A and B are shown apart, each in its own frame.
Chain A
Amino acid sequence: MKKIRNFCIIAHIDHGKSTLADRLLEFTKTVTKREMQAQLLDNMDLERERGITIKSHAIQMNYIYEGEEYILNLIDTPGHVDFSYEVSRSIAACEGALLLVDASQGTEAQTISNLYLAINHDLVIIPVLNKIDLPGARPEEIKDEMVELLDCKREDIIPASGKEGIGIEAILSAIIERIPAPVGDPKAPLQALIFDSVFNSYRGIEVIFRVKNGSIRKGDRVKFMATGKEYIADEIGTLGLAQIPKQVVECGDVGYLISGIKVAKEVKVGDTFTHIDRPASEGIQGFSEVKPMVFAGIYPVDTSEFEELREAMEKLQLNDAALVWEPETSAALGFGFRCGFLGMLHMEIVQERLEREFDMTVITTVPSVQFRVLNTKDKLMNISAPSEMPEPNFIKTIEEPYINAQIITKSDYIGPILNLCMDKRGILKNQVYLTSERVELQFLIPLAEVVFDFFDKLKTISRGYASLDYELAGYQESDMVKLDVMLNGEPVDALSAIVHRSKSYEWGKKLCEKLRELIPRQMFEIAIQAAIGQKIIARETVKAMRKDVLAKCYGGDISRKRKLLEKQKKGKKRMRQVGNVEIPQEAFMAVLKIN
């Protein structure tokens, strides 16, 4: 146990975590030259396509240092805010963290928030000044920032470049020298913390754990403490590039367990497992609960696939512990789920993963934050879907969530950023110069305004230089209204949204315009209306189709044309019918595209 080191790599997005992990794996000969590729640990297609890490990824390395062999368990973590739950769980399995700071960008919003996560778990922080090879690197200046932020010694900062392989040996030495070996009692009853899991259709559910006390042997009988379910440890092992089966996983180590579990619900990330014969008296404290920021409905495109969707969501949840949901029904969309996400990117990734990994195409409805509504009977309600919103005359007050947003930017962009935040109903709370050129702006701003396109806009106006982090800052009363959409007079519940009154007209107008583009013409005219209560605030019309008839239809054409029309009919089946209007699935996501 003295020879084990558990650490994670944390940083702001794109500061080079995965690239540095590549070098560490290479240097320790964990992977061969042939196996190597850039950001090797980003093994999900989505991660490779987007060039970002979505999932934390644990991998074990062996390293000989001063004649002794060490086991180093590395966890590469994502940098994007929407995946911070991945970071917080990884931290719980480690004693130390490499905190990377890009030598040209400096400390940014998630540098700070991830640092605090690590400090709160008493992790030893190893500061690394990364990307020193960049022509724009400002090592001395950024070191100043880091010393300030971390309250560390200047010489503790390791200059490195993941790309050029600079500083790798120094980092490995620091890991061994500075990070303590895990503490834990190898003789005590087994306590293993589950910090991740994956559904594998051949082998059942794979559980990733960290042994806190005791040890586990292949074939042991184990019990999951939260669910009370019992299994046999059919296969255990450690995580190399592939899984490495072992007879035993020792105290302090990180490993995987396969025990033929097929039912997704039986595994809960954050649960502890122990031995049946000699159980621990209690589980390890799990993870703090996820606080979803954005809520949206997810529905199967084909209404008959509700149960398949449920199964897919359960399986996905194994690997995405930040995803929460409950069943929901919609008049327009049928049976589906109300889901909570950590942000819009998270929502997009969930949708993509459902499609790619589980072959489930889904319709996502207008995202919403959670409002607090006090009704006329003085009952306080949490409302995260427009359909739950009471009629206006039953509402006393509506409160919406606010966030404290920290934006770190070059001082050149302060003007446009202030304008953007004001447009989003934000209030400037504080302004601190980190250096003469970099400034941290703090805003109190409604969460609802930030979830949509705020981040993209911020990046655009600051040429990519501004970074954003936020935390919930409680609720404040707001003049929110429910905006409904009607097609030929029939309300479409899945298109309703809760918006601020000052923005409702613009919203209604843009939404109607977008819907006009997306709803195909039918044999009759379609009136698209946006309304607040009884009041129509916007209207568009989809003109009737004039004609839909093929010119010729003789002998050999017939089967070709039959197939063509069958295909059209299939396409129509994927549409939803409200009253007599057929609505394509894209229309339900129109709101996301109105800007």
Chain B
Amino acid sequence: MVEAIAKEIVLRKSYLPDSNIETIYFGGGTPSVLSRLELELLMQTIGEHFTIAADAEITLEANPDDLSQSKLEIFFQAGINRLSIGIQSFNEDHLQFLNRVHSAQEAENCVRLAKQIGINNISIDLIYAIPAPDHSILKSDLQKAFELDVAHISAYCLTIEPQTVFGNWLKRDKIKPINEEFAAVQFEILIETLAQNGYEQYEISNFARNKQYSRHNSSYWKQRPYLGVGPSAHSYNGTSREFNVANNAKYVQAIQAGSIPATYEILTAADQTNEYLLTGLRTKWGVNSGKLESLSGGKFAMLHQKELADMKKNGWLREESGSLLLTASGKLFADRIASDLFID
């Protein structure tokens, strides 16, 4: 598999408009299973065919139970300088509710260990809106994060998707549907507490101290081209998006035969405008009015005069130096606002 991925990197070396790489992200599934040799092979292949910037952000996604001392050392030596750890919660009961295999203690330890080894840029994932009688566990989860002094926190609302364990529980009345009011209050507590402790909400679900934003994720929201390799990976070159097959065997087979097993969709002007709105409005940078006009072929403001005025009047949207930004109350309705502003 890893060889196939390395081969795909070679096959796709001209996909991006230029060969300078600013961020690398090992994610999706469990990249922490990579051995030293495999990781080195990938890094080396990228290095051979692209120019990796000296200050490149190189992130690896991992779960606490994967992060042993030896693993961490391998990652550090291979050049990984940022970890995104799926902590979810520091509370034992909540971890169990989420079906996690790691313990609260492991969650805490791995952060400390990573720092000792020298990976200081650490992001953790937290889940909020887990059913609870009050907000104390959320607050203690946040306290723990502050104590560990992580650079970055991604906070996601618990979602119940059909055809998942939670979905089935919901169907069989084993759990209650997520209480919207509860989730909204938790979201507000989260934003406030994080702000008080120096974490800036630079995207709906992402918070960073001292501008230690995820440069990799930020480039998704800024519509910058990226190349994704491996099964199910997706890539974007500014006008189209490609999706590799999910099936491992099919993927390897195709790559061995020298072809890329991908489907793609061409993004129309409307698609590009809508994606920019969808992602841009979620960020602290908002969406730039000039860019909206150029993406939409000059239609945007004309089409949405009334909506924009209403949204401003209702205090959901504000305009600042040529950009549209969501207000604090607008952030609770980011999706609805974005879709109301979509164009056809």
Chain A bound to chain B: yes
B340 touches A547 (CB 8 A): no
Asked if B332 contacts A548 (CB within 8 A), the reply is yes
Does B159 belong to the interface (CB within 8 Å)?
Answer: yes
Chain B residues, CB < 8 A from A565: 274, 278, 335, 338-339, 342
**Are B159 and A558 closer than 8 Å at their CB atoms?**
no
Contact between chains at B187 and A547 (CB < 8 Å): yes
- A436 at interface, CB cutoff 8 A: no
B320 interface hit (Cβ, 8 Å): no
Which of B181, B226, B342: most chain A CB closer than 10 A? B342
Number of interface residues of B (CB under 8 A): 42
Interchain CB contact under 8 A, B333 and A547: yes
CB-CB contacts below 8 Å: A511-553 with B:
523-524, 545-553
B243-281 CB mask vs A (1 if < 8 Å, else 0) is: 100000000000000000000010100010011001100
With contact pairs A555-B228, A562-B275 given, residues A547 and B234 touching in the complex (Cβ less than 8 Å): no
Query: Given the complex of chains A and B, what is the CA–CA distance between A15 and B232 in angstroms?
Result: 62
Q: Any chain B CB within 8 A of the CB of A502?
A: no
Nearest Cβ in chain B — how far from A296, in angstroms? Answer: 31
> Do A547 and B332 have beta carbons less than 8 Å apart?
yes
Q: In the complex the two chains form, is A553's CB within 8 Å of B180's CB? A: no
A558 touches B220 (CB 8 A): yes
A304 at interface by CB-CB < 8 Å: no
Interface flag for A569 (CB, 8 Å): yes
Alpha-carbon gap, A569 to B282, bound state (A): 18
A546 & B205 in contact (Cβ 8 Å cutoff) = no
A173 is an interface residue with CB less than 8 A from chain B? no
Q: Pick the contact of A558: B181, B278, B335, B336 (CB < 8 A).
A: B278
- How many pairs of residues, A versus B, come closer than 8 Å at their CB atoms? 90
B22 CB to closest chain A CB, in angstroms? 15
Chain B proximity mask over A580-594: 1 for CB below 8 Å, otherwise 0: 100000000000000
The reply on B34 being an interface residue by CB < 8 A is: no
Max chain A C-beta neighbours (<10 A), residue from B156, B228, B282, B338: B338
A554 to B220 Cα, complex, angstroms: 6
Across-interface contacts of A549 in B (CB, < 8 A): 204, 282, 331-335
CB of B58 closer than 8 Å to a CB of A: no
A580 vs B226: C-alpha distance in the bound complex, in angstroms? 41
Say yes or no: A569 contacts B340, CB within 8 Å. yes
Question: Is A559 in contact with chain B by the CB < 8 A criterion?
Answer: yes
**Using an 8 Å CB-CB cutoff, how does the interface string of B25-40 with A read, 1 for contact, 0 for none?**
0000000000000000
Cα distance, A544 to B209, chains bound together (Å): 33
Report the minimal beta-carbon distance from B331 to chain A, rounded to whole angstroms: 7
Residue of A nearest to B274 (CB): A562
Q: Which of B157, B274, B275 has the most CB of A within 10 A?
A: B274
Q: Kindly provide the distance from the CB of A456 to the nearest chain B CB, expressed in whole angstroms.
A: 33
The interface residues of chain A lying within 8 Å CB-to-CB of B314 are 523-524
- Residues of A with C-beta under 8 A to B338: 565
The 8 A CB mask of A559-570 against B (1 = contact, 0 = none) is 101100110110
Contact between B339 and A556, CB atoms less than 8 A apart: no
**B156 touching A553 by the CB < 8 A rule?**
no
Expressed in whole angstroms, the minimum distance between the Cβ of A438 and any Cβ of chain B is: 50
State A524–B331 Cα separation when bound (angstroms): 15
List of B residues within 8 angstroms of A550 by Cβ = 204, 334-335
B336 and chain A: residue at smallest CB distance: A548
Question: In whole angstroms, how far apart are the Cα atoms of A157 and B269 in the complex?
Answer: 76
Residue ID in chain A nearest B127 by CB atoms: A551
B65 shortest CB reach to chain A, Å: 22
Q: How far is the CB of A55 from chain B (nearest CB, A)?
A: 40
In the complex, residue of chain A having the shortest beta-carbon distance to the beta carbon of B214: A554
CB contacts (< 8 Å) of B332 on chain A: these are: 546-549
Chain A residues with CB under 8 Å of B232's CB are: 556
| Closest CB in chain B relative to A302 CB, distance in Å | 13
From 297 to 322 in chain B, residues with beta carbon under 8 angstroms from any chain A beta carbon are: 310, 314, 316
Choose among A524, A546, A551, A555 the residue that contacts B220 (Cβ–Cβ < 8 A).
Answer: A555
**A residues in contact with B310, CB < 8 Å:** 580
B236 on the interface (CB 8 Å rule)? yes
Say whether chain A's binding surface is mostly helix, strand, loop, or mixed: loop
- A548 and chain B: residue at smallest CB distance: B336
- What residues of chain B lie closer than 8 Å to A551, measured between beta carbons? 156-157, 159, 205
List residues of B (220-246) whose CB comes within 8 Å of A's CBs: 220-221, 226, 228, 232-234, 236, 241, 243
B19 CB-CB contact with A under 8 Å? no
Are A562's CB and B333's CB within 8 A?
A: no
Are A523 and B316 interface neighbours, CB within 8 A? yes
Q: Which residues of A contact B46 (CB under 8 A)?
A: none
Question: Cβ of B217 < 8 Å from any Cβ of A?
Answer: yes
Q: With A and B bound together, what is the CA distance between A549 and B326 in angstroms?
A: 12
A565 and B338 CA atoms in complex are apart in Å by: 8
- Nearest chain A residue, comparing its CB with the CB of B341: A569
Contact with A along B2-33 (1 / 0, CB 8 A): 00000000000000000000000000000000
B residues near A580, Cβ cutoff 8 Å? 310
Q: Which of A523, A546, A559 contacts B241 (CB 8 A)?
A: A559
B216 to chain A, nearest CB (A): 9
A566 touches B274 (CB 8 A): yes
Q: How far is the CA of A549 from the CA of B201 in the complex (A)?
A: 15
A548 to B265, CA, bound (A): 27
Q: Which residues of A contact B265 (CB under 8 A)?
A: 559
Residues from chain B with Cβ under 8 Å of A572 in the complex: 339-340
Q: In the complex, A370→B279 CA distance in Å?
A: 54
Q: Which chain A residue lies CB-closest to B270? A: A566
- Our pick among B181, B226, B267, B274 for the contact of A555 (Cβ within 8 Å) is B226
- Contact across chains for A566 and B339 when beta carbons are under 8 A apart: yes
Partner pick for B278 among A545, A546, A553, CB 8 A cutoff? A553
- CB closest residue in chain B, given A561: B278
Bound Cα distance A558, B276 (Å): 10
Other-chain contact of A562, B217, B233, B278 (Cβ < 8 Å): B278
**Residue of A549, A561, A565 ringed by the most chain B CB atoms within 10 A:** A549
Against B, the Cβ 8 Å flags (1 = close, 0 = not) of A92-103 are: 000000000000
With both chains docked as a complex, state the minimum distance between the C-beta of B261 and any C-beta of chain A, in angstroms. Answer: 15
Closest Cβ–Cβ distance, residue A500 to chain B (whole Å) = 40
B179-221, CB under 8 A of A: which get 1 and which 0?
A: 0110110010000000000000000110000000000010011
A497 to B159, CA, bound (A): 43
Closest to B157 in A: A551
Smallest CB–CB gap between A182 and chain B, Å?
Answer: 60
B276 CB to nearest chain A CB (Å): 10
Complex: how many Å from CA A240 to CA B217? Answer: 70
Contacts of A524 in B (CB 8 A): 314
Given A546-B181, A547-B180, A551-B159, is A559 in contact with B275 using a C-beta cutoff of 8 Å?
A: yes
17 of the cross-chain contacts (CB-CB < 8 Å) are A545-B180, A547-B333, A549-B332, A549-B334, A551-B157, A553-B205, A553-B221, A553-B278, A555-B234, A556-B232, A556-B243, A558-B278, A559-B271, A559-B275, A566-B339, A568-B339, A572-B339
List chain A positions with a Cβ less than 8 A from chain B. Answer: 523-524, 545-556, 558-559, 561-562, 565-566, 568-569, 572, 580
Q: Which B residues fall within an 8 A CB radius of A? A: 156-157, 159, 180-181, 183-184, 187, 204-205, 217, 220-221, 226, 228, 232-234, 236, 241, 243, 265, 267, 271, 274-275, 278-279, 282, 310, 314, 316, 331-336, 338-340, 342
Q: Contacts A554-B217, A559-B265 known; list 12 others, CB within 8 Å.
A: A524-B314, A546-B184, A548-B332, A549-B282, A549-B331, A549-B332, A550-B335, A553-B279, A556-B232, A558-B220, A558-B241, A565-B342
